[in-house]
Amino acid sequence: MSDAQRQEAITETAVSTQATETVATDAPVLTDATAKTADRGRDGGAARTGDRRNQRRPRRAPRRDDRARSEFDQKIISIRRVTRVMAGGRRFNFSVAMVIGNKKGKVGVGIGKAGDTQLAIDKAIRSARKNLIEIPLNKNQHIPHDVHVKLASSEVMIMPAPGRGLVAGSSVRTVLELGGVKDVTAKIFSRSKNKLNNARAAILALKKLKA
């Protein structure tokens, strides 16, 4: 082999070696995370080795429409913002008075106090459920007789009035309406504007009814 042929062979060998090194350098380096991603891509995302994030994810809370509707209707009769002066300044709370009833003879009055309005409403509902009473109504949802009650500064009288419907005012009407009482007349003799006391007086009057 001549010197020219030997030099040409050496040159071809060097070029091929350089091309092989270039291909090896340009090849992507597969780490563990890249390998898992590639495997997950080939498997369509079904295989997740050691991944428990889906198991730890909390379930979605049911929507308000999905929850069972309560049998009791509710109505707020009074909501007040109460201010208390402390050493560091003023502190605001909310006081909510609420009446609940199923319009079938069960009714209750409750009060709730909290720093948040929604929390105060929830407390008032729980308090009213604890204080539910059952009204002795006949088959026409009429009360059996008259009743006259005085509670604190509120004085209330409730009388049956067939054919007149529900004639009452203030929070007494709310109590009678949610209690399911029909054809009745209520009279507030006191000048008290306290709706909570009027509602409690109506509850006390309904308690005194005898079938």
What is the CATH classification number for the domain harbouring 169? 3.30.230.10
Task: Name the residue range of residue 108's domain.
Answer: 73-133
User: Is 145:160 a contact under the CB 8 Å cutoff?
Assistant: yes
Report the distance separating Cα 117 and Cα 76, nearest Å.
12
What is the predicted pLDDT for the residue at 171? 92
Query: What tens-digit pLDDT sequence spans the chain (211 residues)?
Result: 566 666 666 666 655 555 555 444 444 554 555 555 555 555 555 445 555 555 565 666 555 544 445 788 999 999 999 999 999 899 999 999 999 999 999 999 999 999 999 999 999 999 999 999 999 998 888 999 999 999 988 999 999 999 899 999 889 999 999 999 999 999 999 888 899 999 999 999 999 998 7
Query: Strand, helix or coil at 164?
Result: coil
39-45 contact pairs (CB < 8 A, 24+): none
Domain membership of residue 79 (yes or no) is yes
What is the predicted pLDDT for the residue at 99? 96
What is the predicted pLDDT for the residue at 37? 52
Instruction: Please state the domain count of the chain.
Output: 2
Domain membership of residue 149 (yes or no) is yes
Query: Strand, helix or coil at 100?
Result: strand
What is the predicted pLDDT for the residue at 70? 73
Which residue, 88, 115, 133, sits at the end of a domain?
133
Do residues 83 and 126 share a domain?
yes
Largest CA distance in the chain: 136
Do residues 153 and 125 share a domain?
no
